Structure 1
């Protein structure tokens, strides 16, 4: 995983729950700090996500405990419940293409989610590597892995709500792992939802606390990710398409390397209205199999 500069991070060799030892901070978001760590007994590498909402929390003088002023205490507890929900959801999931749950610890005024350490690069960085051209069969295989992982998540009654290239890990062998379930919720849940969005990848319904959010919402994000894979750039953000929808065809960017029907399917998945959007991952699985057959046929023709 890529390392990023962080602030307020735990120092090297800090122990969490006498079970894990922090090696280095690798990422900081608005709500958490992520560390590469080692399980002290086995030596196995792990990923630890520490709940640390930047606008509410401060590290105390012991460089370990997390504190929060009385004015922010209620909001802190609310966000901590959301953080704990990620652990509850991940604990339910067991799939080779989904990051594996290890542990959840509440200590030091905060909480820590421990998962497997996924080696490799995010899909975003994987496709941005200089002087590397990814073959079409490789891209189709990655896309198929994402569809398979997402289907499993939906089958468990969960929507991910943040499918994007930055939340998909690619290992050295081209294997796929769907990561970061921090926005995930059981679908069909009544009541308000916290707003978490990613420009270019979130459907319009994710910009509302009270909208109906279902697997079809993830399908928008999946279609946006496929757009990125095959066009080389993210689609226009949904808010830019409200009054004039100028979303370009994928084939206009990739020299027609995908078929016209597959391009149309991606656009169907990117429909702004959930009622007009493709509602089945089966269409994408079938289209990817068809694209693989077409690609293999073209390769055979070139060899003749």
Structure 2
């Protein structure tokens, strides 16, 4: 049975690792981010004091942290799902450790401790795109979006070339570094294609960004699935709000095309590319990152 999880609606009260906690060769400094399956911390390597980001597997619906930081299943009924998820998290870390690219978060270590799994990543300085949109810290011009999504597409194209799908691309998972250079974060929904070897018991969905095929258990997913999420993320930047969720669009599509709605502020090739990426029918979208890149270039 597949359980669907929407990270936007999950409770915010977490039981975090405390500052000063030592795990393996790292000391926790503070919590950076959280989700239904994990938390991310800023930490330091004790040997050289270099800062890193550490992601801890802790699915709150299945397990909890005890007084001595050991993670245990909530019940006998959730034990098998917790162990299955832990194994998949470890597999995710191993896959990510092989995907080296300037625009993809870099995994430098992974290990088991406290009856769970930890993933150690290079800590990059920047602001996630959702916070930029919320705080209006940068003018969302076409040049800015072309820079951010141009570098993002380079990273996504790299993971697709290794037959890996991200399946949770959204502004919150795009770190914008100086020079509008992007870094793709959080591969918690990662799956391989065309034949998935990392099929999960829990599908991650984000309303407004997940394509319609991601809502169906046996639907075929591919690069076009990530491309919908990229198009939706670009639309969210232009419109300053989350796009209409795909299931609602299937029932009654009220989404006005970007070409019609925003023609005064952006070029036609750019807006056409956004509309094409957000086609509901997977077959009607760009089938590869290269096709979307060509569309953005007006080719």
Q: TM-score, normalised by structure 2?
A: 0.89
Pick from 138, 153, 178 the counterpart of residue 159 of structure 2.
Answer: 153
Task: Tell me what 2:230 maps to.
Answer: 222
TM-aligned CA distance change 1:6 to 1:168, over 3 Å: same
Greater alpha carbon shift after TM alignment, 91-100 vs 77-86:
77-86
Q: CA deviation at 1:180?
A: 0.6
2:100 is aligned with 1:94: yes
Mapping 1:151-300, distance limit 5 Å: 151-190=157-196, 193=200, 194-254=202-262, 256-290=264-298
Does 2:66 match 1:66?
A: no
Task: Give per-residue Cα distances to partners, 1:280-303, cap 9 Å, x unaligned.
Answer: 322322233349xxxxxxxxxxxx
Deviation of 1:239 after TM superposition, in Å, equals 0.9
For residues 138 and 118 of structure 2, the distance between their equivalents in structure 1, rounded to whole angstroms, comes to: 37
Q: Per-residue displacement from partner, 1:92-150 (whole Å, max 9, x unpaired)?
A: 10101111111111111111111111211111112332364244322211121111111
State the number of aligned residues.
286
Structure 1 spans left out of the alignment, 5+ residues:
292-304
Distance in 2 separating the partners of 1:224 and 1:94 = 26
Please tell me the root mean square deviation across aligned C-alpha atoms, in Å: 2.1
Out of 210-219 and 130-139, give the one that drifted further. Answer: 130-139
CA distance in 2, matches of 1:190, 1:39: 34
- Whether contact under 8 Å (2:263, 2:271) holds in the other structure is no
- Change beyond 3 A, Cα 1:276–1:289: closer
Kindly provide the CA deviation profile for residues 59-111 of structure 1, in whole angstroms up to 9, marking residues without a partner as x.
2222x211223232101111112212220221110101111111111111111
Q: Which of structures 1 and 2 has the larger relative contact order (alpha carbons within 8 angstroms, sep 6+)?
A: 2
The offset of 1:44, in angstroms, is 0.9
Q: Which runs of 5 or more residues in structure 2 are unaligned?
A: 1-11
Match of 2:110 among 92, 95, 104: 104
Native 8 Å contact 1:15 1:21 kept in 2: yes
